Amino acid sequence: MSSERTNIAGVSPFEPVIGFSRAVRVGRHVMVSGTGPVGSEEEDVAAQADQCLTIIAGVLKQAGTSFEHIVRTRVYLTNVQDWEAVGRVHGKFFSLIRPAATMVAVSALVDPRWKVEIEADALIPEENLPE
C-alpha cells in the first residue's frame, strides 16, 4: 500500500491564497478540508449544509472513495440554534453510515453569508488501492 500524498484541488478561491487543498489523500486516508456552501450563500442553513455535503461527495469521488467510507465529520455552525436543521441534513446522508461526528458553534466563517461549514475524513476501499 502506497503512502504517497496526493493533493486534490477544489474550486475555492481561497485555496491558492491560504495554501490548502480541498482534500489530501495519503494511503487509504482522505482528509477533506472545511467545505463551505459555495454557490448557495443566500440559501437557508439546511440548503447550505446539503451543498457542503454535495461538494464533499464530488471530492471524495475524485479521491477514489465515497460517502459510505466516511469515518468522521466535523460541522461548524455560526448559530447554535441551527444544529437541528443541519443535523437532519447530516442524517439524510449518514443515517446508515453513522460516522464519528462533531458539531460546534463558531462566531463566524470566512464568508459572512455562510451559516455552516463541514469537513470529513474517509478511507479508500481496498479495491480502489493501487497494487
CA distance 114 to 42: 8
Q: Could you tell me the residue ranges of all domains in the chain?
A: 5-128
48 to 1, 15, 52, 104, 106: CA distances (angstroms): 36, 20, 6, 16, 16
Give the model's confidence band at 128: pLDDT under 50 very low, under 70 low, under 90 confident, else very high.
Answer: low
CA dist 131 and 123 (Å) reads: 16
Q: What is the pLDDT of residue 130?
A: 61
What predicted TM-score, i.e. pTM, was given to this entire model? 0.91
Superfamily holding 5-128: RutC-like (3.30.1330.40)
pLDDT digits (tens, 9 = 90+) for 46-92: 999 999 999 999 999 999 999 999 999 999 999 999 999 999 999 99
